[in-house]
Chains A and B, each alone.
Chain A
Amino acid sequence: AQSVSQHNHHVILSEAASLELGCNYSYGGTVNLFWYVQYPGQHLQLLLKYFSGDPLVKGIKGFEAEFIKSKFSFNLRKPSVQWSDTAEYFCAVKSIGAAGNKLTFGGGTRVLVKP
């Protein structure tokens, strides 16, 4: 069975600092990769996704993520965070060919950006 691990449960940083959140998955086959974000009081929203092609993908709000197949990783980055980036971030994997294309999520990382 596939699994997803996120290295940090909580991250606290100041505005303008750079952010990197780690995500590793275990699955030997072809996968689609996602980062979802949940802002306080809101529902899960897609931040970015990787299906194929360029392993460096850009999402909304200045976020990007890099897929490194050899490391089974899909780390999320943002060069300069804002207070409004305070949220919980979830990495998710979808294994291609699995019935229904269900998502397997990591445990999430709570990010607090101090003004």
Chain B
Amino acid sequence: GAGVSQSPRYKVAKRGQDVALRCDPISGHVSLFWYQQALGQGPEFLTYFQNEAQLDKSGLPSDRFFAERPEGSVSTLKIQRTQQEDSAVYLCASSLDSGSTYEQYFGPGTRLTVT
């Protein structure tokens, strides 16, 4: 059984470039979360999908960040005009359903470095 996968695992972008980070959740998982983990800190919530609906995007730090999950499975986090402060590990997690007792399973993350 495959877990959550993310690609690329590492991304180096020059300041001002756009990047797209992909998340493949566990098959059949309804809920999908994106978190940002800066160096030396814990993950911070960015956004949440239930199927294809983005129900919470309160954690997105600016309008340069955009996420989608058009068919309710794969999700893409896009960052436009990257800045140095965007350098972090971006984690994706999925859970079977949206209830509070459902465990979130995390992917390996994409480490983004903006130079």
Summarize B's interface: helix, strand, loop or mixed.
loop
Closest Cβ of chain A to B44, distance in Å, is 7
With the chains together, A79 CA to B95 CA distance in Å? 31
B residues bordering A, Cβ < 8 Å?
A: 3-4, 31, 33, 35, 40-45, 48, 50, 55-56, 59, 91, 93, 95, 98-104, 106-109
With the chains together, A91 CA to B48 CA distance in Å? 20
Interface residues on A, range: 20 to 34
A53 in contact (CB, < 8 A) = no
Tell me how many residue pairs across A and B have CB atoms closer than 8 Å: 66
Please list 12 pairs of residues, one from A and one from B, whose beta carbons are closer than 8 Å in the complex, sorted by A's number.
A32-B100, A43-B106, A43-B107, A43-B108, A44-B93, A90-B42, A99-B55, A100-B55, A101-B99, A102-B45, A106-B42, A107-B41
The A28-73 residues at the B interface (CB cut-off 8 A) are 32, 36, 42-46, 49, 51
Q: Which residue of A lies closest to B97 (CB)?
A: A101
With the chains together, A18 CA to B110 CA distance in Å? 34
Q: Does A107 contact B45, Cβ atoms closer than 8 Å? A: no
